[in-house]
Amino acid sequence: MKFTTKHLVLRPWVESDAMWLYHYAKNPKIGPVAGWPPHESVEDSKQVIKTVFSKEETYAIVFNGKAIGCVGILIYPDGNHYWGEGNGELGYWIGEQFWGLGLVVEASKRLLEHAFKDLKLTNIFATFKEGNNQSKRVLQKLGFDYYDELYNVDYRNTRRRQWKTTKYRCTKTINLF
Ligand SMILES: CC(C)(COP(=O)(O)OP(=O)(O)OC[C@H]1O[C@@H](n2cnc3c(N)ncnc32)[C@H](O)[C@@H]1OP(=O)(O)O)[C@@H](O)C(=O)NCCC(=O)NCCS
């Protein structure tokens, strides 16, 4: 699927996004806080597009024709957790030069609308690592509320290192659309 918002296009990742993906995802301020290592090369980014980003409901955030971030709803067995029948998990990141513009909220709102209306999901959960207040703010702006705490493991993780994370939940579609 493809979605258009005021400033963005959300569409599936394609291999030719690898160059821009590497450009933004090599930044150590992006991946580790979201649960994955910084990308090491354009080839590494290409592999991520073919594996992780090829999952259902995972979209490139496209601005002026360039993939600048990612937003997705993971539904079991994708992702690290079973969130319950009819539930999913929201995830996102955006290149550092685009932080603070509200673009991830804009993209996530559109995807949440899709998740509730088209996919008929009941609850969308999201987690953020202790101290990731930027992500917490995004969830607050989207109408998520605190749910509980858990330990999460990183994606592409070989050592299964665990992180304390806070879990938020969104069921309130009415405020969003
Ligand atoms: C979390 C993230 C997706 C937020 O995206 P965004 O589009 O910048 O979100 P917003 O513009 O709504 O800003 C959210 C908060 O980030 C903070 N922020 C904004 N610009 C910032 C900057 N340049 N540097 C640090 N923090 C900043 C502000 O506290 C802001 O809240 P406010 O609007 O109440 O002031 C983005 O920071 C990011 O990609 N971070 C790294 C990856 C990550 O954390 N992913 C989520 C894993 S759970």
Q: What is the DSSP letter of 41?
A: S
Q: Which of 92, 134, 141, 164 to mutate to test the pocket of ligand 1 (most atoms within 8 A of CB)?
A: 134
| Global model pTM greater than 0.85 | yes
E-assigned strands of the chain? 3-4, 9-11, 58-63, 66-74, 87-94, 123-129, 145-153, 162-170
Round to whole Å and give the CA distance between 52 and 149.
Answer: 25
Q: Is the pLDDT of residue 1 over 80?
A: yes
For the chain, give the percent of residues with pLDDT over 90. 76
Q: Which two tokens stand for residue 12?
A: 């599936």
Between CA 121 and CA 82 the distance in angstroms is 14
Q: Which residues line ligand 1 (CB under 6 A)?
A: 30, 33-34, 92-94, 99-105, 128, 132, 134-135, 137-138, 141
pLDDT above 70 covers a percentage of the chain that reads 90
CA of 138 to the centre of ligand 1 (A): 7
Band of pLDDT at residue 160, cut at 50, 70 and 90: low
How would you classify the pairing of strands 145-153 and 123-129?
unpaired
The one-character DSSP state at 138 is H
In degrees rounded to 5, what are phi and psi of residue 114? Answer: -60, -45
pLDDT of residue 176: 55
Range from 4-8, 74-78, 85-89, 144-148 that averages highest in pLDDT: 4-8
Q: What's the rounded Cα separation, in Å, for the pair 42 and 99?
A: 23
Phi, psi of 118 (to 5 degrees): -90, -45
Atom of ligand 1 nearest to the CA of 31: 42
